[in-house]
Amino acid sequence: MYELPEALTVANQINESIKGKVISNVIAAHTPHKFAWFNGDPEKYHDLLSGKSINKATGYGGMVEISADGALILVGDGSVLKFHDINDNKPEKHQLLVEFEDTSAITVSVQMYGGIWCFSEGRFDNKYYQIAKEKPSPLSSHFTWDYFQSMIEAPKIQKLSVKAFLATEQRIPGLGNGVLQDILYNARIHPKKKINLFTDAEKEAVYNSVKTTLMEMTCMGGRDTERDLYGCYGGYKTKLSKNTIDKPCPVCGSIVKKENYMGGNIYYCSDCQAV
C-alpha cells in the first residue's frame, strides 16, 4: 500500500509520463469491489474528466492527487496506479481506467480497500485529505523538532505505544505501518514501547529516524515491497518487512521476528529493539 515514499514517487512519475496528455475516455467501477470507495456517482467521472489535460500530480501523505483543468483525481491508500504505454495491453480488471488521446492510459486497482475520488476542485470534503494537505510533511523544513516534541509530549498520547502514536490517527500523514518498521528499527525502539517510558534521547532518535528513513525511502523510489507507476518494486531495501522475516538482523544477526499487534503485523529484532 502507498505510504509517503510511494505517493511521492508515483506523483513524480505521473509528471514525467502523462503531464500534458488529454483525457479521451474514463471508465469507473468497471470491476466490482466491495471496498472501493468513490465520490458521488462513478458513472459521471467520464463527463467530469473527458477532454481535460493533465496538469500535474502531487503526493499528500499516502495519497496521489492528479489535477486536470480544474478537476481532480485523488487516489487513496490501498489503491494502486499503473501506467500503460501506447502499445501496452490494458488490464481486464480495474476500478478506474483513464485513457488519453494518444491511446496510452492509467489504471487504478484497489487492493484490500481504497479510495478513488474524482471531483471538481474545492468540492471534496474528506478529513484525511484535508489533514494530509495541511499538516507539514516530515520531509519538509516545517517538520521541526519543536513540532514533533509538541506531539510526542502531549498528555493524551503518553499511554500509547510508539506504533499507535506514529501510525494511527494521521498524526503524520503518509506514515503508516509499513514504513514504521524501519523507522523504529533505525531508532532501536520496539513498536510496543509506551511513550511515557521514552527518554529524551529516544524521542530525538525517533524524530531523526522519521526524517532520515522516509527521505532515504523516497530518494530510492519507494520500498521494495511496493510497486511504482510502471509496476516495478521500489529501490529501497527494507530491513524489516515481509521480505526479511526469519532472516538475520543486519546489525546483530538475531532472527527478525513477526508478530500481530493492533490489528496488523509488526517486525522487530528482539536484541536491537528491546521493549
39 lies in a domain? yes
Does the structure show a pLDDT above 90 at 275?
A: no
Higher pLDDT, 1 or 79: 79
User: Do 127 and 163 lie in a common domain?
Assistant: no
Q: What is the pLDDT of residues 139-175, one digit of tens each?
A: 999 999 999 999 999 999 999 999 999 999 999 999 9
Q: Domain check: are 229 and 263 in the same one?
A: yes
In a domain, 49, yes or no: yes
Amino acid 1: pLDDT: 86
* pLDDT value, residue 182: 98
121 and 196, same domain (yes or no): no
Q: pTM score, two decimals?
A: 0.95
**Which pLDDT score is estimated for 96?**
98
Name the packing angle between helices 177-187 and 200-219 (round to 10°). 130
Residue 194: pLDDT band by 50, 70, 90 thresholds? very high
Share of the chain above pLDDT 90, in %: 95
Question: What pLDDT score was predicted for residue 12?
Answer: 98
Mean pLDDT of 194-205: 98
Same domain, 159 and 204: yes
Domain count for the chain: 2
Query: Residue 274: inside a domain, yes or no?
Result: no
pLDDT at residue 258 tops 90: yes
Residues 182, 103, single domain; the answer is: no
